Chain A
Amino acid sequence: MTDFTPLTGLIGGAMIGLAAVLFALLNGRIAGISGILGGGLGAVAGDRLWRVAFIIGLLAGPPLVAAVTGSAPTILVQAPLPVLIVAGLLVGFGTRLGNGCTSGHGVCGIARGSRRSMAATVAFFASALLVVHVIRHLLGA
């Protein structure tokens, strides 16, 4: 059970939206993490540095917030190890096949009015909703 946290949700969401806009304005690119990572596999020199920089920034996010707020974020990963492996493989493969994820399609694509991204977002939300429902209410896990 997690609490509805509307204020931090809104603030954090606005920060994400701002980051997406700034990335387009300053770097001319979509802030889609699956693309930044996946496109980096086998990237040529000249195409790697900005990707590494972004990932380093991403990694530094939680420690920065912890330092500023004085409390470290607590997360809990409850899926068992084999499930995590399968989930990771599916997320990795699926985001590359579908050319995007929640940041690339869900935030940037939809913000740009892309029908393609809207379709992709419906697809991954629908399947995620179904999977969670099956696991929690049909399998009782």
Chain B
Amino acid sequence: MAATLSSLLIGLLFGAGLTVSGMIDPRKVLNFLDVAGHWDPTLGLVMGAALAVAVPGFALVRRRDATLLGGALRLPDRSDIDLRLIGGGVLFGVGWGLAGLCPGPAIAALTTGVPGVAVFVVAMLAGMAVHRLIARR
């Protein structure tokens, strides 16, 4: 129960952060990626600020063996760099560069009612489902 509530509130904080920072607007994302054109550095600052909080924050997490609610820590510990990681990253990047949308901002942007977002999200879910089907073999 507590974990469900914290998940809801943290999702809300995350979505609010994406909104306040302007990251739900594909224009701001694409203008960051367009270094040779109308460059908007905002995304870089967003990442920088996120990391400024998250680096010391995760250092606190590392010292723990359970959550503050007494639950299990399910943090990944892989360190290998393989073709799937890089290949997946490249494919993701192509999609991101084409639309200026990535998973978090796309979900958050659904509530703006802009039609293209819903199309992207449905396609994204389909892409995830395709991977799941293929990966099972």
> Does A137 lie within 8 Å of B37, measured CB to CB?
yes
Which chain A residue lies CB-closest to B123? A88
User: Which residues does chain B contribute within 8 Å of A50, judged by CB atoms?
Assistant: 3-4, 7
> Does A58 lie within 8 Å of B92, measured CB to CB?
no
Q: Nearest Cβ distance between residue A54 and chain B, in whole angstroms?
A: 4
User: Which residues does chain B contribute within 8 Å of A94, judged by CB atoms?
Assistant: 87-95, 127
> Does B102 lie within 8 Å of A57, measured CB to CB?
no
The size class of the interface chain B forms with chain A is: 35 or more
* Other-chain contact of B8, A6, A28, A53 (Cβ < 8 Å): A53
The count of A-to-B residue pairs whose CB atoms sit within 8 angstroms is 485
> Does B26 lie within 8 Å of A92, measured CB to CB?
no
Tell me, in angstroms, the Cα distance from A129 to B98 when the chains sit together.
10
Which chain A residue lies CB-closest to B99? A87
Considering residues A12, A56, A64, A106, which has the most beta carbons from chain B within 10 angstroms of its beta carbon? A12
> Does B55 lie within 8 Å of A61, measured CB to CB?
no
* Other-chain contact of A132, B33, B68, B87 (Cβ < 8 Å): B33
Question: Would A77 and B101 be within 8 Å (CB), given that A12-B18, A124-B90 are in contact?
Answer: yes
Question: Would A17 and B108 be within 8 Å (CB), given that A62-B24, A79-B98 are in contact?
Answer: no
Tell me, in angstroms, the Cα distance from A95 to B125 when the chains sit together.
11
* Other-chain contact of A54, B7, B24, B57 (Cβ < 8 Å): B7
> Does A114 lie within 8 Å of B67, measured CB to CB?
no
Question: Would A6 and B42 be within 8 Å (CB), given that A101-B92, A128-B96, A128-B97 are in contact?
Answer: yes
Question: Would A93 and B91 be within 8 Å (CB), given that A2-B25, A87-B99, A102-B104 are in contact?
Answer: yes
Tell me, in angstroms, the Cα distance from A91 to B55 when the chains sit together.
26
* Other-chain contact of B58, A24, A41, A116, A129 (Cβ < 8 Å): A24
User: Which residues does chain A contribute within 8 Å of B19, judged by CB atoms?
Assistant: 12, 61-62, 65, 73
Q: A residues near B, CB below 8 A?
A: 1-6, 8-31, 33-34, 37-38, 41-42, 49-51, 53-65, 72-79, 81, 83-99, 101-103, 105-108, 110-112, 114-116, 119-133, 135-137
- Ordered nearest first, which 6 A-B pairs have the shortest CB separation? A61-B15, A98-B88, A92-B127, A12-B21, A57-B11, A88-B123
